[in-house]
Structure 1
């Protein structure tokens, strides 16, 4: 193998933030990597940007294919990877300079570790910090933990053992937003350890706006993930489906607040969460009560304003 790490970057009409993303990769303190940019049928100047970088840094390669979706693009990169470990980054996210160094050290310290991730800092779509961070479980990760919540948040946060990927396969092309969560769950269900690093190593660009259809698509994707997991983790789905579904619906209710969607939509998701598993109030009181107060509070304030106008 020529490189320790292969980085797979899928790009589709990604010109707006692509240069910034690539620069964050090329600025890594750990230099022994190859960067494969998979152009998924872009019609803008994405390929021109990548070719310019390729001329300046021999660690980069451009692979072009017709548009087939992000999961297929990532799988193209996996097939062409030469590295011992495989990392992923989306075309609008950013890495901290020590990201690869930390993950390589983490993975090499434990041969049974299949997936390494870290904490994430959220930024606005125009790159401004939000002051909000992911706070996932980092050690003693079970399949139940990964089914209930995507600890890595984004594929840009994941570095996976090549051996693990060869055993479990790549991303499921039928999934879109939940493809990373399903792959991470599959890694764990095949006997690999999954652990996180207690440092912020990724800056994750959040959506510019939101539509209710996006949230319903996320729910649809999660339902398909559950169907996929039924094949290799039937006992997990049998025992944990209701609670995991409630946690997803609670998350979607919280997303209506972040995306400034209607208070009625937030109420619908929160009501369905409690209907799916009302004991979530006792199992996870802080998150559940805070989300409920925020969602119902917004609805109450909106109703009061409407009656006073």
Structure 2
């Protein structure tokens, strides 16, 4: 199997070399790399043109968003497998060799992914790893969580990607989950994980509450699309799935040091969506305590400032 790699990039010239270098360092060498410049205004073009490797192609498009850029790259590619890598993430050197071997030995698997290690915003490994389920995944699982964590972790067979007609360009923040849900729902796609860390994912500390609310909006678009495909499944799982996603957003407010009231908003609405969720996910209790404690401490500090 040969592999097409698609890197969508927008004004990421300062980190893009790390992503490209991680591709060039792959022990598996039968690949092509398509860097899709989504209308960047920085020196992205110069960064890519500095590389001297015939396997690397630079394609420019006017700014249309990351899903459009990924679809454009996939459409222009030729590999049997398509692997995506975001401009600010990195692969370990054996990433492609492990995936190709896995897909060859598991011919029924149409999408594979692996464990992920988180990086700081400065690109420093944290030794914090994902522990999402790897096997026996169902379409319903993708309503609750994203087992792949990041699109940089997804390797998909071209045949399936073309059947799906790529990412839904109207969805942001949950476009990868929607693609995989659609694959399982419409084509009974088999998606399996590999119990090795093969991707390093950079976590950005923007701290913007607006970003978290846009993520929630993206999740709702995923649900709207899923409802058209399987309304009964969505109706059955929606209360708990929404509570689960709100729990995730509440946890992000702690990590991003967002205003305490934003975290309380997410926790309160999670309780409202499914009052039994705290028994299904005991860690939600710990997250709720942390969020409320942060809120009350901020209120106490504000009162003392007057």
Tell me by how many angstroms 1:126 deviates. Answer: 0.9
Query: Hey, what's the Cα distance between the residues in 2 that align with 1:233 and 1:37?
Result: 35
3-state SS in 2 of match to 1:120: strand
Q: CA RMSD in A?
A: 1.3
TM-score by length of 1: 0.95
3-state SS in 2 of match to 1:111: coil
Q: Which structure 1 residue ranges, 5 or more long, are not aligned?
A: none
Structure 2 residue corresponding to 1:102, chosen from 98, 103, 123: 98
- The answer (yes or no) to whether the contact 1:6–1:83 under 8 Å persists in 2 is yes
Cα deviation, 1:210-265, whole Å, max 9, x if unaligned, reads 21111110111111111111122222212111111111111111010000011111
Structure 1 residue corresponding to 2:119, chosen from 119, 123, 130: 123
Say whether 1:257 aligns with 2:278: no
Tell me by how many angstroms 1:304 deviates. Answer: 3.6
Q: Where do 4+ consecutive residues of structure 1 move more than 6 Å?
A: none
Cα deviation, 1:41-72, whole Å, max 9, x if unaligned, reads 1121101111121xx11111111111111100
Counterpart position of 2:58: 62
3-state SS in 2 of match to 1:63: strand
Query: Hey, what's the Cα distance between the residues in 1 that align with 2:56 and 2:106?
Result: 28
3-state SS in 1 of match to 2:140: helix
Counterpart position of 1:18: 16
3-state SS in 1 of match to 2:57: strand
Say whether 1:242 aligns with 2:239: yes
Query: Hey, what's the Cα distance between the residues in 2 that align with 1:13 and 1:264?
Result: 32
3-state SS in 1 of match to 2:26: coil
The number of aligned residues is 304
Query: Hey, what's the Cα distance between the residues in 2 that align with 1:76 and 1:308?
Result: 55
Q: Which structure 2 residue ranges, 5 or more long, are not aligned?
A: none
Cα deviation, 1:118-172, whole Å, max 9, x if unaligned, reads 1111111111223322110111001111111011111101000111112222011
1:190-209 to 2 correspondence within 5 Å?
A: 190-209=187-206
TM-score by length of 2: 0.96
Tell me by how many angstroms 1:289 deviates. Answer: 1.5
Query: Hey, what's the Cα distance between the residues in 2 that align with 1:228 and 1:133?
Result: 30
Query: Hey, what's the Cα distance between the residues in 1 that align with 2:250 and 2:78?
Result: 42
